[in-house]
Structure 1
Amino acid sequence: MQSSHASTAISVAFDDANLIAYAGLVPVMRLAERCGLARLTAEKVKLTGAKNSAGAAADAKVTSIVAGMAAGADSIDGLDVLRHGAMPALFGGVRAPSTLGTFLRTFTHGHALQLHAVHRQFLAALAAQTPLLPGSGQKAFIDVDSTHKRVYGRTKQGAEYGRFKGIRTLHPLLATICTPHSRPAIATVRMRRGKAADSRSAPKFVGEALATALEAGCTGMRILRADSQFYNAGVIAACRRAGAHFSVTTGMNPSVKRAVLGIPEAAWQQITYPTAIPDPDTGELISNAEVAEMPAYTAFAGRKKSERVTARLIVRRVRDLARPAVMGEQGELFPVWRYHPFFTDNPAPTLQAEREHRHHAVIEQVIADSKAAALAHLPSGHFHANAAWLTLWAITYNLLRATGALTSAFHAKATTATLRAHLVHVPARIARSARRITLHLPRRWPWQHAWTHLFDTVHDPPEPA
């Protein structure tokens, strides 16, 4: 492939009023409309007071932000991608970036909670109308984790020097839902200041995530998975109240260490991973490990009796290659191990429970996705505006995941970057005839059949409930 400049003169003019760059927004936003995003926003989000004019028509502003994020916008100014060419002929009520920025800055903590309610009910509608979470009636995993997002500017509310030296961050907390057959959807999110502890308000957050999973159709076994930051009595109690199971990394505290070292050598089972996995401590790839179980370990023994929990302690150990083994005349005497224990009441067999717990790392893909998309920036100096931006990203993420689930088996598992490239970033020319608009898309588009299937599906009459 080479440029044709040498043989053909090329000129450029931005003057075609019938072109659009993101024809895929037509079926995507049609799906959002069918699942009631605008209606839910109008019902739930009530911005009142001195800035009431900015809060009017919240539904149009929320859908404008979601559409912009679906197209790839990662800042308030980036939302201007919606105002080009023939977009006004296809979408009404698109707002300017300045209007959307003013709208976000009117948010308070209460308004952010109203937007959370929209997110929860919209997720339930997506799960009901699309195969977003196949198999959720049998088993679903709720994963909880936090991340730090670097921000700039001394006046950005809530930004503090937290975990990373010399770097000011905000500290989002998120929970995802997945099944053995699906990629994760986002159950709930919270924006927090940079120095907030990982486990701050974790029991309440876990309870909300488990309730959201139930609303989204996860009526079978629900298993909460989390890292050691969330290993506390409050989180386990929240799981028990919600009727869910738990699988939480413990870390090697003194009580756990005594229990692990008390496991008899004959109890360890050798396992070989089909593909190498990264070690949580060193990041090195490992292919072999040993797994053992202590079937009745009592956690939180120092607390009052009602808060103690007895369940399984499952441990994976791998050779610590950084520390040489103690050698004797007849070879190795004392191999050195690193241990990775987790506390669970998952009723599955030991190796299956270990495999399912390790799959908790899937939430890292969602975090990476966020930082490559709308959370590349937290665009406002106002804390609650950034909290609203985070929730709107979660809504957009779930909408794109549901779009992929409707399109094909491949797109159901694809990343959102792939969904944008295949389904959203499709250029088109519009033509009007007899009060009808026709979209003319590129000939031989590689994903033509998938796109057409999506378009036909969301424009067919909805099936009876």
Structure 2
Amino acid sequence: MKPSHTVRPVFDDPNLVSAAGLVPALRLAESAGLYELLEAVTVPSPNASVKTSSVVGGMLAGADSIDDMDLLRHGGMGRLFGGVRAPSTLGTFLRSFTHGHVQQLDKVGAGLLAGLTERVPGLFAGAEEIAFLDVDDTVREVHGYAKQGAAFGYTGVRGLNLQLATISTPTAAPVIARARLRKGNTASATGVGRLLAQAINTARAAGVTGRILARADSAYYGWAFVGTALRHKTWFSVTARMTPSVTAAITSISPDAWKTIEYPNAVYDEAEQRWVSDAEVAEVPFVAFTGRRKREHVACRLVVRRVRRLQPLASDETEQGELFATYRHHAFITNSTVGTIEADQRHRDHALIEQVIAELKDGPLAHLPSGKYAANAAWVACAVIGFNIARATAVAAAMHTARWATLRSRVINIPARIAATGRRLVLHLPTHWPWAPGWESLWSTATGPPHPVTT
């Protein structure tokens, strides 16, 4: 593939746009109630809802900094959208947020998610049976000494901590239920009880009627997470720390209790630096948190997966025989009623939340653009709104597993030429666009009547 003939570029067409997919994406958000919900945000800035939607629209198109919001002001974008603001205006707007205003924006995100599930029923396909609520946190590295709240966290880098909860089902990709920005040196489990409670309420409001399984890694092994799950009558599945009581319970497992399992796909074990394709699982009754008051003791199941350790090679590079096999053990506690092997498989799927974190860092959270902590928190809240709109857009376009970057290249950042006929605008899109059927499906969902409710 190479350029043909002689090419002379000229930036002179006022009727071209490079992100025509923003029209159905934001129409879908509008039909889900975004603009009405934004009216409740009381930021002391004129046209706050318009400015917030501008930030969200820029993120959908690929902006990862305030300056990148200028990509909304090109060609015929002013004819397609009203209220597009300059990056400097949006930066000033974000700096006017306080902690209370950020919480208002979080509430908008939760309400929008409920509206999106009504508009795009496939967003939570299978939620009438079971849904998975995953909690995790990550550190977003920042630079410069003007960043409020930046500190060295558990990763050893200077940044801000992002804690989030996602909702998914066995057949639906995850969306973000709640997210919050925290100081960089905040412990992972700090405030997890409130976050989990809000996420469960958001899931129920969004139409999750089946059982909820709340999952987390060992950083959240504690009463705050498990107790909240129990109070809200949900299942929990949390990686256990290797405390003396957990180690003693693992030792008590009978050799005959271990069941051999095979992974459908090999898993790379970082500690052993090798691919693992088989393992054994077993379970034993367990009482967690016995160091707390008696009413906070939790009777549950301790499910253990063990993997055989590799024997070191001899000096002549041959493998020695072993007298006793040694294993690495991975344990988690759960109150679910599914079988041992299924419980292990579902717990390992908690890693799905890492995909969401990666998509955010590859998109709007590539940077935390402001020196003010509240402005960055508002930026995160807008990123959550944008992520959920993108996920609903992907489902409506029949691209259920498409990641945000893929969605941008196939649906959102599609060029178009604007023409006028009578009182209407016509978007002339490229012929032979490979994903035109998905784009048309999205357009029908965004602009058509709501789907009838099935009972």
TM-score w.r.t. length of structure 1: 0.94
Q: Deviations over 1:2-25 (max 9, x none)?
A: 222xxx332111110000000101
Per the alignment, residue 46 of structure 1 pairs with 42
Per the alignment, residue 11 of structure 1 pairs with 8
Are 2:126 and 1:126 aligned? no
> Is the CA contact (8 Å cut-off) linking 1:430 and 1:440 kept in structure 2?
yes
- Correspondence 1:337-376 to 2 at 5 A: 337-376=327-366
Which SS does the other structure have where 2:74 is aligned? coil
Per the alignment, residue 334 of structure 1 pairs with 324
Name stretches of at least 5 consecutive residues in structure 1 with no aligned partner. Answer: none
- Correspondence 1:412-431 to 2 at 5 A: 412-431=400-419
Paired residue type of 2:286: Y
Which SS does the other structure have where 1:144 is aligned? strand
Per the alignment, residue 301 of structure 1 pairs with 290
Per the alignment, residue 317 of structure 2 pairs with none
Give the Cα separation in 1 of the matches to 2:269 and 2:7: 54
- Correspondence 1:211-250 to 2 at 5 A: 211-250=201-240
Name stretches of at least 5 consecutive residues in structure 2 with no aligned partner. Answer: 315-319
Per the alignment, residue 438 of structure 1 pairs with 426
Which of 234, 251, 266 lines up with 1:261 in the alignment? Answer: 251
Paired residue type of 2:415: P
Give the Cα separation in 2 of the matches to 1:119 and 1:462: 20
Report the Cα offset of residue 256 of structure 1.
0.3
Report the Cα offset of residue 207 of structure 1.
1.1
Are 2:2 and 1:2 aligned? yes
- Correspondence 1:22-421 to 2 at 5 A: 22-43=19-40, 45-47=41-43, 52=44, 55-130=45-120, 131-165=122-156, 167-279=157-269, 281-282=271-272, 284-294=274-284, 296-321=285-310, 331-408=321-398, 411-421=399-409
> Is the CA contact (8 Å cut-off) linking 1:188 and 1:209 kept in structure 2?
yes
Paired residue type of 1:136: A
- RMSD of aligned C-alpha atoms? 1.5
TM-score w.r.t. length of structure 2: 0.96
Per the alignment, residue 446 of structure 2 pairs with 458
Report the Cα offset of residue 369 of structure 1.
0.5
Which SS does the other structure have where 1:412 is aligned? coil
Give the Cα separation in 1 of the matches to 2:371 and 2:311: 45
> Is the CA contact (8 Å cut-off) linking 2:21 and 2:413 kept in structure 1?
yes
Which SS does the other structure have where 1:413 is aligned? coil
> Is the CA contact (8 Å cut-off) linking 2:311 and 2:322 kept in structure 1?
no
Give the Cα separation in 2 of the matches to 1:282 and 1:147: 24
> Is the CA contact (8 Å cut-off) linking 1:141 and 1:177 kept in structure 2?
yes
Which SS does the other structure have where 2:75 is aligned? coil
Q: Deviations over 1:367-426 (max 9, x none)?
A: 111110000000000001111111111110000100111111xx1111111111110111
Overall identity of the aligned pairs, in %: 47
Aligned length: 447
Q: Deviations over 1:174-224 (max 9, x none)?
A: 000000001100010010111000011111111111111111111110000
Give the Cα separation in 1 of the matches to 2:234 and 2:370: 37
